Structure 1
């Protein structure tokens, strides 16, 4: 009975969250903010669902974050990030360190003034800041896509590379600071720095090597059931994280780099595997945010409201811009308005809350205070920065209307990425048939081919003599976007 009740509750939470995601697309509010809100609504201070299992929340967060980072690597094209690799890498490493440093000093000062009885140490303040030192990519681009905004000057791949690769650096800082606090004595800073660098190096090498191994195995193994190939890729994701962890490397960096290697390689059933991971990443985010929302007690946020809000807005308007402008100082060709927008996209998401669970799991002093402040800062960031992303892009003159992606509705067909052609659907109108009803009577450019016609529920492989009817659907293939636009013009379908 308890299992069935739990399944009903989970399915209701998922259903409400998915519906709230549709609302977020229309309002331009990050879907993750609504997922969190649903979790809080059904938590101990709301409907009354009690969830206080820190270890379970940490395990859920670890698996979910591994999947999200792996999926992010799969979707990242190396040719897009190659021109901006240096600034993206600097933002993801030195940027995270500087953000933790500046925000740590700020947090220590704010907490000392607003909560003096807590006697927060500087190391604890640095731990608090480190949990929030990375940015969230999923919420950023879901907002930009929902508003139909594209970014100029290679900003999108820059932000994508930073937000996809800066979580491992933040994780290393968090784990290192937890160890320092638990030691309770003056550490060997040279040893700490060496271990930090080693974790990143081992993670990077492990991710690359195991990513290559995954591609080799997937291409060599012969599985009769094709639906198992995405499961095999998922297995590699978990395997790569776990192996790297036992090698004392950074598992999160390993899964991101392995995803990057695999996503930019050729392997069998690639498209179905990519689609599988896209859905899996969204489910992971949904499940993770619901769990984190259930874990927090909103009533505990009231006592830390003042310091939490001060830290939140100071990070948005002070430490993040300071970090970005200092980090990008060597890159003089990057315009100031680009740096300003990168500063604004220092969006907090699921990762800071997951990292804030680590002090709770390790019973660090003031761990609950850290968790509550991080949770509040994440809410403020999603609400303030998230909702204003499209507006700030327009103010800075960086918004560019993207070319609308062509999606097939009547023909469930996908071509391999290696085939550099474009498919589109065209409805047959009365005007098209004015010179005759046969396909040969329709004027089409030389590089345009009609490969299939749908009439009602039937599909027809056409020839030049095929008779067309009004409301038929044509599936056409062209060499490129320019040829497709030429096809539209020849059919008097400009702006189709």
Structure 2
């Protein structure tokens, strides 16, 4: 029993230190995943903990399980609208983009390190794909709001590129170990299996689990356990039949997350904690595996390979993959930069070790060092580079919190909390006065929290900075109310500097705008609506932040509806 309790004590201590390290991560601006790795390395045999851990099989099991949970959580938060915007380019990036990256880096590694070409390309295949756990975690916790096309492309690519990476690593290991038994036909059939079974089982699993979630009447906490166990079931079964379990579990999450039901809110709240626990456990265990002295021995090689990967291989692969999908140069540069490496390369690097590939420890050490450099350099600069390349859009006013009261399987009442910002429009107003021009029967305040206590509403109640007001709000008024609570002089000026001083209806005639401001438009364009004119001049699917120029004037997409159609345009007038 003492051994079991010691194991529990050790596990609890490592996770506790990981939680505490999150505050240090926020202060230093370092990626949280890097802090988890640091905790594991400090606890390892060359750290202050002195724990000797070199069980690659156990680490692989933990890594695969954690990645499945992380991908399931990422799928649950991916909207179908993202696929409408970025499915084709992301699919090309997840297939040809991985191949191009591996080919370029493999050739470089072969000549730079003087390796056999099969070993050099295998090294490139291990670190050639972006990591879903790192992308989902760092993009959503970076504090920057990317334009929807860039965000969707990065998330879908990272969620879908694992089959290609696993295929390349498996094929290259076979080519290294048994070259005489390796054939092109068998490799192609393996790829078809990975993609085909992964897509099919993800669709089936998502449909079945989403239907069960709507029909079963379970205790609130059990819905998330059902989804996690169902997702792991699809992951394992798909792997057993030769498909990509990672692709299957990601798509399972996508289909479940887009089926709004009474259980969805409970599932998402629990999955937050489970995904965090999965990331912490995985990176702490991976940190225990590494030996800092070995990393230092291969540090220069890893630095050179990482630099080539970040600055040459990834950018060329991105440009060759999606140049025809009408991304501008800044977007291509940012997508190239956010080619984050994380747990997937380290997990893939364990495969050669367990299969007895000669000199496989070198692959693991280099892959680990590349991941650390990627998180340290690329992960830590996500917000800065986004602002520098101008691929971010101003923060969107949002409720502080939200709840739903479900009245039936398909009917609910949304409850939203809004915090009063100092100098905002609503400060000093009665809570009911805030929504006086909205639908008074559908939008009303039912609670006010002041100094963490409930304040009784009266005729003389006035909102103060720091108050949290809870409203029943119909979906189409959520953002309108959020703007009134959040907008101050500084936030309004930020929005105006980006979108422009005026808001115009895209259904307005372009000719009317041209006449009002003396713009030069030919007769054909004058008879178009602004929406039609925008689509004519802008190639691709417009998203928030996209813009066209008419003379010295700039039209910017300010807001889109659920179908992706332009709802409002911003007009910036030349000074």
Match of 2:122 in 1: 127
Secondary structure at the aligned position of 1:423 is classed as strand
Q: CA RMSD in A?
A: 3.1
Give the whole-Å Cα distance in 1 for the aligned partners of 2:434 and 2:301: 69
Gaps of 5+ in 2: 493-575
Following superposition, the deviation at residue 248 of structure 1 comes to: 1.4
2:293 matched to 1:303?
Answer: no
Q: How does 1:304-323 map to 2 (within 5 A)?
A: 304-323=298-317
Aligned to 1:62: 64
Which residues of 2 match residues 276-355 of structure 1 at below 5 A? Answer: 276-331=270-325, 333-355=326-348
The change in CA–CA distance for 1:9 and 1:226 in structure 2 (over 3 A counts) is same
Taking structure 1 as reference, are residues 355 and 428 closer, same or farther at Cα in structure 2, changes over 3 Å only? closer
Determine the structure 1 residue equivalent to 2:46: 45
Distance 1:441 1:485 in 2: 14
In structure 1, how many angstroms separate the alpha carbons of the residues matched to 2:356 and 2:37? 24
Q: Is the 8 A contact 1:70 1:259 kept in 2?
A: yes
Give yes or no for contact 1:31–1:139 (8 Å, CA) kept in 2: no
Give the match for residue 110 of structure 1. 112
| CA deviation after TM superposition for structure 1 residue 326, in Å | 0.9
Quote the Cα distance in structure 1 between the aligned partners of 2:36 and 2:241. Answer: 35
2:217 aligns with 222
Following the alignment from structure 1 to structure 2, what is the Cα–Cα distance between the partners of residues 442 and 322? 52
Alignment match, 1:117? none
2-structure distance, mates of 1:90, 1:52:
37
Q: Distance in 2 between matches of 1:329 and 1:434?
A: 52
Deviations 1:443-470 (A, max 9, x none): 83333411224577875886xx666488
Contact preservation (8 Å) 2:144, 2:383: yes
Aligned length: 478
Match of 2:250 in 1: 256
Partner of 1:25: 26
Higher mean C-alpha displacement, 148-157 vs 338-347: 148-157
Q: CA deviation at 1:309?
A: 1.6
1:173-208 Cα distance to aligned partner (Å, 9 max, x none): 222222332324252112211221222111111111
Query: Superposition pairs for residues 76-95 of structure 1, below 5 Å?
Result: 76-95=78-97
The 5-angstrom pairing of residues 377-456 of structure 1 reads 377-408=370-401, 413-414=403-404, 423-425=416-418, 444-447=436-439, 448-454=443-449
Task: Name the CA distance, whole Å, in 1 between partners of 2:151 and 2:314.
Answer: 18
Distance in 2 between the 1:405 and 1:264 partners? 20
CA distance in 2, matches of 1:398, 1:55: 41
How far the C-alpha of 1:348 sits from its partner, in A, is 0.8
Contact 1:26 1:146 in 2 (8 A): no
- SS at 1:330 equivalent: helix
d(CA) in 2 for partners of 1:299, 1:246: 38
CA shift in 2, pair 1:406/1:183, >3 Å: same
CA positional deviation for 1:325: 0.9
| Larger displacement relative to structure 2 (230-239 or 14-23) | 14-23
Q: CA deviation at 1:353?
A: 0.6
Distance 1:460 1:403 in 2: 28
**Does the 8 Å CA contact 2:399/2:419 hold for their aligned counterparts?**
no
Q: 1:175 to 1:477 in 2, by over 3 A?
A: same
Number of the residue aligned with 1:101 = 103
Matched, 1:240 2:244: no
Alpha-carbon offset, residue 279 of structure 1: 1.4
For the residues of structure 1 that align with 2:10 and 2:180, how far apart are their CA atoms?
Answer: 46
TM-score, structure 2 length as denominator? 0.76
Task: Report what 1:115 is aligned to.
Answer: none
Distance 1:481 1:248 in 2: 46
Aligned partner (choices 353, 363, 381) of residue 356 of structure 2: 363
Report deviation, 1:426.
5.4
Structure 1 residue 96: deviation in Å? 1.1
TM (normalized to structure 1)? 0.87
> 2: CA distance between counterparts of 1:161 and 1:57?
26
Most deviating of 337-346 and 1-10: 1-10
Paired residues of 1:199 and 1:248 also in contact (CA < 8 A): yes
